[in-house]
Amino acid sequence: MRRLFIFLCAAVGMTVLGSSAALAEGTNTLESSNPSAGEMVTVAPTQLQLRFLAPAGTAEQVAQMGLALTCDGRLIGLGTPQLGSDGVTVSAALTQVLDNGTCSVSWKLADGSTGTFSFTSNTQPTTTAVTPGPTKPTTPGQVPTGTVTERRLGGPIGLSRLLAFFAVSALFGGLLFIRYLWVEGVEYGIGERYFRIVSVVAGLSMILHASLMTASETTNSLGGSFLPTSWFSLYDTTEGRAVLVRLIAVLALVYFAWVPARIFEPTNVPQSTVALIFLALSFGFDRASGRNLVIGVIVAILHMAMVMMWVGAIAIIWRVVLFGPGDLDLVQALQGWTRIATPLTVGIIVTGAIQVWRLDGLSLINSGHGRMVLLKSLVVGLLVFVSAAVRTFIRQRLARAGNLNERMVARLKRPVGVELSLSIAVLAASSMLMSMRPPNVLPREKGPKDQYAIVQEMTGADDFRVRVSVTPGNVGNNRLLVELFGPKRIQNFTVSLTPANQSFSGYRVFVPITRPGAALLTEETGMKLLAPGDWTITVEGTTTTGELAPLTGSFVIADGVTVTTQPNKDLQATTTVPGTSAPAGASTTAPPG
């Protein structure tokens, strides 16, 4: 019995030693994993999970185990491995977003067991580049909410603009002509009929122009756009607001022009003056873009005020002053016009040249807008020649005349008519130019727009300027707009969105633009920010001179209980870059031009 007991003890000892030797050699293997070996992952995982056949060890041993994840050679950050309650499951949270490509997982347990497996990651979303052209461009800070059927209203809008240009100019310039050059004009019945006709045409042309613009800018039907309540949609754009102000000013001037003598009544002088001023100011914002915008607004106001004075004076001279022979007041009206016509001509040419420099620069041959400017310049040159000849005739033949006889009326009627026709041709060219985009002006977005809930302005060294916008500002399906303002060329342009909560995954977006522009990632492509709380934005890129210093910022995603549709200061933080800082905020301006 004693020998049998010794034999059994020896057998048990050998078994224990054999088991210990086997454990020391590390024979533990994987039963399953998530992601599994060979799997194609299309949704970014939030954690890595391994399930072993045998116990993985104690919680302390698992926390110190060797676990690494790489995707195409790039090491992906992992949290501390955690042991499950079953003793065989180990999980580790991902702290970085997976790159697209082949990912490899390697592990090593405390008992020496090791292993590797691979899977394929295809979790990175693609972006849609927004470029000018046949497709609708993206306005910085805003994005279209739906598809708007483009109406072919360019021709009608151009004609209505031309009609409004001429009628409004005749109204504006005619009233100034009566007030300062021909006070006796209010006593003529033909003058009163002239102003009433001009008033009706000016008012109706402005209503037509505002209605056509409303139909073009919105989804309203063409008939519904003629309702005054629909015109409030024009208030969304600077050009639309200018048209509304012009319409109000014209309707106010109709009251004074219906009975021209009203402009001389002391109680009406302030009101008529304000209406004239606002009418001129509205033309400064018809094209509120391009280089040196402030200078452009001032020059546009002066230019159109002088043009309207010119056209209005020529129109009333041709239709009223030269209607037939008359007394000395008609001669004095013509002589007064010759005194101011030359300064007006110089002012119109100088302000027009400044606008051409601002909008076209040297691109007068290689752009459609520039070629149209050259054609308009030829017509203006011919107009200046005819006008100079008419003024010379008036100074020489009417210097000592006591009245305007029938012979002089006949001699002046035709050249003044040619002068008026050339003025209308210049207005027609201006109307066509307003429908064309100059080289130094970026295209303008049309259609309904939504404000972004979160807007981050980021600025760094080497003129690295980016705006990142997200909407809505809560968890779920989100839209991302990335706008690059500088530098002029960029490569490897990426935007990373990383949540502070490591239990959720973020995104690393490869932005497919190499020059200043915008790229849009819509909800339909799978952009989902699922982690409420703090998020970090990291923007990276390289230029021909090397890597750019990354731009970083932060924002807050709500839990989805409240949907934010307007820019909110609580959803925006200060953007910081090493060595610089810039406040973040919402913006509705146009891309840098």
Beta carbons within 8 Å of 378's beta carbon, 6+ residues apart: none
Section 234-255 average pLDDT: 91
CB 103 within 8 A of CB 37: no
Beta carbons within 8 Å of 414's beta carbon, 6+ residues apart: none
pLDDT mean across residues, the chain: 81
Can you tell me the distance from the alpha carbon of 280 to that of 174, in angstroms, rounded to the nearest whole number? 14
102, 121, 140 - which closes a domain? 121
The predicted-structure confidence for 221-233, as pLDDT tens digits, reads as follows: 778 888 888 888 8
Within a domain: 285: yes
Cis bond leading into 266, ω under 30°?
no
Domain with residue 554: its CATH number is: 2.60.40.10
Strands, E, within 28-65: which ranges? 30-34, 40-41, 47-52
Assess whether 182 and 289 both reside in one domain. Answer: yes
Assess whether 409 and 310 both reside in one domain. Answer: yes
Assess whether 186 and 74 both reside in one domain. Answer: no
Can you tell me the distance from the alpha carbon of 383 to that of 345, in angstroms, rounded to the nearest whole number? 10
Assess whether 209 and 297 both reside in one domain. Answer: yes
368, 402, 434 - which closes a domain? 434
Indicate the range of 122-136, 316-330, 362-376, 498-512 predicted with least confidence. Answer: 122-136
Can you tell me the distance from the alpha carbon of 319 to that of 450, in angstroms, rounded to the nearest whole number? 50
Residues β-bridged to residue 467: 457, 483
Structure token pair of residue 36: 């599994």
Assess whether 159 and 113 both reside in one domain. Answer: no
Structure token pair of residue 528: 């989902």
Strands, E, within 220-261: which ranges? none
Q: Residue 570: pLDDT above 60? A: no
DSSP 3-state of 2: helix
Section 254-277 average pLDDT: 92
Question: Which residue type, as a one-letter code, is found at position 140?
Answer: P
Indicate the range of 17-26, 57-66, 414-423 predicted with least confidence. Answer: 17-26
541 vs 42 pLDDT, higher one: 541
The predicted-structure confidence for 123-162, as pLDDT tens digits, reads as follows: 765 444 433 333 333 333 333 343 344 456 778 888 999 9
Position 526 scores a pLDDT of 60
CA distances from 575 to 14, 471, 509, 510, 535 (A): 67, 18, 19, 21, 12
Section 540-558 average pLDDT: 88
Assess whether 40 and 174 both reside in one domain. Answer: no
Beta carbons within 8 Å of 379's beta carbon, 6+ residues apart: 422, 425, 426, 429
- Closest by CA to 105, choosing from 68, 71, 76, is 68
Assess whether 572 and 491 both reside in one domain. Answer: yes
Structure token pair of residue 298: 């001032």
The predicted-structure confidence for 511-530, as pLDDT tens digits, reads as follows: 888 888 888 877 666 678 88
Q: What's the gap between Cα 581 and its chain centre?
A: 24
Proportion of the chain above pLDDT 90, given as a percent: 35
CB 196 within 8 A of CB 258: yes
Within a domain: 530: yes
CB 456 within 8 A of CB 555: yes
Within a domain: 17: no
CB 276 within 8 A of CB 257: no
Position 309 scores a pLDDT of 96
Task: Tell me the backbone φ, ψ of residue 102, rounded to 5 degrees.
Answer: -85, 125
Instruction: Give the number of residues written for the chain.
Output: 593
The predicted-structure confidence for 454-496, as pLDDT tens digits, reads as follows: 888 899 888 899 999 888 888 888 888 888 888 888 888 999 8
Position 12 scores a pLDDT of 46
Section 537-546 average pLDDT: 88
Can you tell me the distance from the alpha carbon of 72 to that of 74, in angstroms, rounded to the nearest whole number? 6
Can you tell me the distance from the alpha carbon of 31 to that of 26, in angstroms, rounded to the nearest whole number? 15
Position 438 scores a pLDDT of 87
Within a domain: 574: yes
Can you tell me the distance from the alpha carbon of 270 to that of 280, in angstroms, rounded to the nearest whole number? 16
Assess whether 213 and 280 both reside in one domain. Answer: yes
CB 517 within 8 A of CB 484: yes
Q: Residue 73: pLDDT above 80? A: no
Q: Is-above-0.75 flag for pTM?
A: no
The H or E element spanning position 90 is: strand 89-93
Position 563 scores a pLDDT of 40
Position 126 scores a pLDDT of 45
Section 412-431 average pLDDT: 94
Structure token pair of residue 34: 């998530």
Position 525 scores a pLDDT of 60
Q: Residue 349: pLDDT above 70? A: yes
The predicted-structure confidence for 5-55, as pLDDT tens digits, reads as follows: 444 455 545 444 443 433 345 788 888 898 888 888 877 777 888 998 888
Position 26 scores a pLDDT of 73
CB 69 within 8 A of CB 35: no
Within a domain: 239: yes
Assess whether 413 and 470 both reside in one domain. Answer: no
The H or E element spanning position 44 is: none
Can you tell me the distance from the alpha carbon of 63 to that of 58, in angstroms, rounded to the nearest whole number? 9
Can you tell me the distance from the alpha carbon of 430 to that of 166, in angstroms, rounded to the nearest whole number? 11
Section 348-373 average pLDDT: 89
Within a domain: 83: yes
DSSP 3-state of 581: strand
Task: Tell me the backbone φ, ψ of residue 144, rounded to 5 degrees.
Answer: -65, 140
Can you tell me the distance from the alpha carbon of 556 to that of 574, in angstroms, rounded to the nearest whole number? 12
Can you tell me the distance from the alpha carbon of 281 to that of 275, in angstroms, rounded to the nearest whole number? 10
- Closest by CA to 334, choosing from 428, 422, 243, 419, is 419
- The count of structural domains within the chain is 3
373, 404, 434 - which closes a domain? 434
Can you tell me the distance from the alpha carbon of 200 to that of 193, in angstroms, rounded to the nearest whole number? 11
Q: What is the DSSP secondary structure assignment for residue 178, as one 8-state letter?
A: H
Assess whether 86 and 188 both reside in one domain. Answer: no
Assess whether 389 and 495 both reside in one domain. Answer: no
Can you tell me the distance from the alpha carbon of 123 to that of 388, in angstroms, rounded to the nearest whole number? 73
Position 111 scores a pLDDT of 85
Tell me which residue range forms the domain holding 334: 154-434
Residues β-bridged to residue 30: 52
Domain with residue 48: its CATH number is: 2.60.40.1220
Give the residue carrying structure tokens 């989805």. 560
Give the residue carrying structure tokens 């990651």. 121
Give the residue carrying structure tokens 């676990």. 67
The predicted-structure confidence for 201-222, as pLDDT tens digits, reads as follows: 999 999 999 998 888 877 777 7
Task: Tell me the backbone φ, ψ of residue 160, rounded to 5 degrees.
Answer: -65, -35
Position 443 scores a pLDDT of 61
Can you tell me the distance from the alpha carbon of 204 to that of 490, in angstroms, rounded to the nearest whole number? 51
Could you tell me the sign of the dihedral formed by the alpha carbons of 314, 315, 316, 321, in that order? Answer: positive
Within a domain: 103: yes
Assess whether 525 and 491 both reside in one domain. Answer: yes
Can you tell me the distance from the alpha carbon of 139 to that of 519, in angstroms, rounded to the nearest whole number? 11
CA distances from 167 to 174, 182, 433 (A): 10, 20, 18
Within a domain: 72: yes
CA distances from 213 to 154, 220, 441, 561 (A): 10, 11, 20, 39
Give the residue carrying structure tokens 């509205």. 282
Question: Which residue type, as a one-letter code, is found at position 510?
Answer: F
